[in-house]
Amino acid sequence: MSLDPAIKRLTRQQMAWRAAQDIADGSYVNLGIGMPELVARYVPAGRHVTYHTENGLLGFGERPPEGQEDPDLVNAGKKPVTLLPGAALFHHADSFAMIRGGHLDLSILGAFQVAQNGDLANWQAGEDAIPAVGGAMDLVSGVKQVFVLTEHTTRDGQPKLVERCSYALTGAGVVTRVFTDLAVVDVIDRQFVVREIVDGLSLDALRALTGADLHEAGAPGLLKAA
């Protein structure tokens, strides 16, 4: 199924902005490598969010200016970051106690596939790739809420929101909300419930791009993109 060319998909920045609006003031948050990292830029002013990274740091800030990078001060993507006032450093077991012990409020991750029952597949695409899991399985099983930020379909048009994941799972029944470039979809009682859709796209057109049933709880709102 292809999309009416008049419909504007959200850009990666717009998707990150939309996800950022749902981060509560006072949250401890872990952002996955890639597009989720962009979310930090768009958290509304006045909300205080503390960012956690798997490699032993709570309370980090943006990349330092060129020339001031410290190879011993990086995030889980091995990119240079800075220490904000009030930051804390700790070893890996403490870092994953924060994750696995349910101390983090929210994790935002990418996905290969999300199933209607909340299953997430985001670590192994196919049989021949060299498997690499990192901290994804720990995050989805331990963090209080897991949001997914991903395009609605793959580059060749296959749906990423599906009835059942065909790729290896990262966690079973772990995702509560999905932000795509076309919609915001919740996982409720093992069903996808559409909350917001981009301007001009009908629910039926969205269904054609989705690999599972889409339900409504009242008319979906407009997916805004600042």
Partner 1 sequence: MKKPIFDPAGAVADIPDGASVMIGGFGGAGAPVELVHALLDQGARELTLVNNNAGNGGVGLAALIREGRVRKMICSFPRSSDSRAFQEAYLAGKIELELVPQGTLAERIRAGGAGIPAFFTRTSAGTPLAEGKEQREFDGQLYVMERWLKADFALVKAKRADPYGNLVYNKTARNFGPLMCMAAATAIVQVNEIVELGEIDPEIVVTPGIFVNRLVAVADPQQEERLVAQGAVYP
Tell me the CA distances in angstroms from 192 to 118, 162, 165, 189, 207, one per residue in order.
9, 9, 14, 8, 11
Which listed residue (61, 134, 157, 200) binds partner 1 by CB under 8 A? 134
Residues 148-177 that bind partner 1 (CB under 8 A): 168-173
Q: Closer to partner 1 by CB, 53 or 150: give it.
A: 53
- Distance separating alpha carbons of residues 126 and 130, to the nearest angstrom: 9
- Residue that the structure tokens 């003031």 belong to: 25
205 binds partner 1 (CB under 8 A): no
Q: Is 6 among the residues that bind partner 1 (CB under 8 A)?
A: no
Give 13 or 141: the residue with its C-beta nearer to partner 1. 141
Nearer Cβ to partner 1, position 7 or 83? 83
Interface residue with partner 1, options 4, 66, 72, 189 (CB under 8 A) = 72
127 is catalytic: no
- The least CB distance from residue 6 to partner 1, in Å, is 39
What are the helix (H) ranges across 31-118? 35-38, 92-100
Run of H or E including 106: strand 106-109
Query: CA 204 → CA 161, 194, 197, 212, distances in Å?
Result: 15, 12, 11, 12
CB 82 within 8 A of CB 63: yes
Q: CB under 8 A: which stretch of 3-11, 20-28, 54-62, 151-159 binds partner 1?
A: 54-62
Active site residues: 54
Contact footprint for partner 1 (CB under 8 A):
53-57, 70-74, 78, 83, 89-93, 95-96, 99-100, 119, 124, 130-138, 141-142, 168-173
